[in-house]
Each structure stands twice: as structure tokens, then as C-alpha cells.
Amino acid sequence: MALYSEKVMEHFRNPRNVGVIEDADGIGEVGNAKCGDIMKMYLKIEDDIIKDVKFETFGCGSAIASSSMATELIKGKPVSEAMKLTNKAVAEALDGLPDYKMHCSVLAEEAIRSALEDYQKRTGKQIK
């Protein structure tokens, strides 16, 4: 289908970092079933570095591909950098998304931010 770029389809077909982290240091869930996309991110953080990240997604092709790409973009990175991840960066890394699918990449950004906020709340640390 020409609806999506090759990159989107590749991440959709072979999503990276799928699953859960049982002893996660931060968990974020955004979206709702009403709008059709839900993303859940699990983070394992050591020394302010994202050691591991996993996701679960209920959603369309671009939601799954955006989740996958977002996890790739933050894995191994300092939390401060992950906090700055934008939906634009996710969409660009996927060689673009159709306009009406941009909200899926926004969800990916929000899911990661939400997981980092959960980490801050749990640890009392402030990510700068």
C-alpha cells in the first residue's frame, strides 16, 4: 500500500522493542480507545540512561510504527534527551506520515514523556 512510506511499513511489520518490562522504573500510557489509539511505554533507567524500553500499542499502522521508532530513538540515550523527543522527530525518522496520521506520532511523544514523568514521580528526581 502506498498509504505509508517503506520505513513506516518496515517498522509496522517488524516493530522493535515490543513487550513489557516487569520491573520498569517508569510507565506511561496515553490515548484512549475512543479515538482508536492507545500506547503504553515501559522504561528501565540506570544512571539517568534509558537502558531498556518496551511498548504495547493498540492502534493503526502508523501508531505501531511510531511507537517502534520512538523506542529506537530513545534507547540508550540520557533521560534528558528522551524528554526532548518530538513527534516531528519520530515522523521524520519514519520518512514522514500522512497528515491525518500525525496524531499517532504525537501519541508516541506523549507516551514517552508520560513514562518519564512517572519515573520522576517515583524517584523524586527532576529531569533537566
Partner 1 sequence: MIYVDNAATTKMSKTAIHTMTAMMEDTWGNPSSLYSIGQRAKEVLEKARADVASVIGAEPREITFTSGGSEADNQAILTAALLGEKSGKKHIVSSAFEHHAVLHTLNKLEKMGYEITLLDVHENGMIIPSELEAAIREDTCLVTIMTANNEIGTIQPIRELGAICRSRKVLFHTDAVQAVGHIPLNVIEDNIDLLSASAHKFHGPKGVGFLYARKGIRLTNLIEGGAQERGKRAGTENVPGIVSMAEALKEANAGMEKNAEHLVKMRDRLIAGLKEIPHSALNGDAEHRLPGNVNFCFEGIEGESLLLLLDDKGIQASSGSACTSGSLDPSHVLLAIGRVHDVAHGSLRLSIGEDITEADVDYLIKSVKEVVEYLRGFSPIWRDLMAGKKQFIL
User: Which residues are tagged catalytic?
Assistant: 35, 104
Binding range to Zn ion, per CB under 5 A, among 6-14, 48-56, 74-82, 98-106:
98-106
DSSP string, 95-119: T---GGGHHHHHHHHHHHHHHHHHH
Taking CB under 5 A as the criterion, the residue among 39, 70, 82, 104 binding Zn ion is 104
* Distance separating alpha carbons of residues 75 and 44, to the nearest angstrom: 10
Nearest approach in angstroms of CB 4 to partner 1 is 8
**Contact set for Zn ion, span 10-69 (CB under 5 A):** 37, 59-60, 63
